[in-house]
């Protein structure tokens, strides 16, 4: 069962409107890449979809409770080629996430594989369950 996310719907609508009304050839466009967010006992997992992006053009910054991802996929037009339609995402990609203090932003791990940036934000030690030894008298 899929949960309805009104904010995601608004983000998609905003992105489509920005593309439709953006002046062609004037300044870089910034896109919000799709993201999957999951949580397990280890921490928060984010999958940021960045197809065609060079891993060296990906920047991840964690500071003051915010995790930010920025990447770039420039459009490299070739001379002598007639482009009839370009639907691929080109330009700058950016997303930011407010991360609760129950997660440790100082230990974020990032992997890039097949166009997907995998981020792990581990749970803070204070929030992990602790096994308490029972003393027998």
Name beta bridge partners: 72: 92
End-to-end CA distance of the chain: 51
The residue among 19 and 137 whose pLDDT is bigger is 137
Rg (CA), the chain: 20
**What is the pLDDT averaged over residues 27-55?**
88
CB 117 within 8 A of CB 94: no
Beta bridge partners of 112: 117
pLDDT for the residue 130? 72
What are the structural domains, with CATH classification, of the chain? 26-75+88-127 (2.60.40.790)
- Residue 94 predicted with pLDDT over 70: yes
- Percentage, residues of the chain above pLDDT 70: 80
Q: Are 39 and 53 in contact (CB under 8 A)?
A: no
One DSSP character per residue, 32-90 reads ---EEEEE-SSEEEEEEE-TT--GGGEEEEEETTEEEEEEEE---PPTT-------S--
Let me know: does 73 contact 52? Beta carbons within 8 Å.
yes
Say how many CA atoms lie within 13 Å of 103 toward its Cβ.
Answer: 26
Mean pLDDT of the chain: 84
pTM higher than 0.75: no
Percent share of the chain, pLDDT over 90: 47
């Amino acid at each position: 069962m899929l949960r309805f996310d009104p904010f995601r719907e608004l983000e998609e609508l905003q992105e489509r409107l920005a593309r439709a009304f953006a002046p062609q050839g004037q300044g870089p466009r910034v896109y919000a890449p799709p993201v999957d967010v999951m949580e397990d006992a280890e921490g928060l997992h984010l999958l940021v979809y960045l197809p065609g992006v060079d891993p060296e053009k990906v920047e991840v910054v964690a500071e003051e409770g915010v995790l930010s991802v920025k990447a770039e996929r420039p459009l490299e037009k070739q001379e002598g080629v007639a482009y009839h339609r370009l639907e691929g995402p080109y330009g700058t990609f950016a997303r930011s996430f407010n991360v609760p203090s129950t997660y440790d932003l100082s230990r974020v791990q990032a992997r890039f594989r097949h166009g997907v940036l995998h981020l792990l934000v581990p749970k803070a030690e204070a929030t992990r369950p602790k096994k308490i030894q029972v003393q027998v008298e």
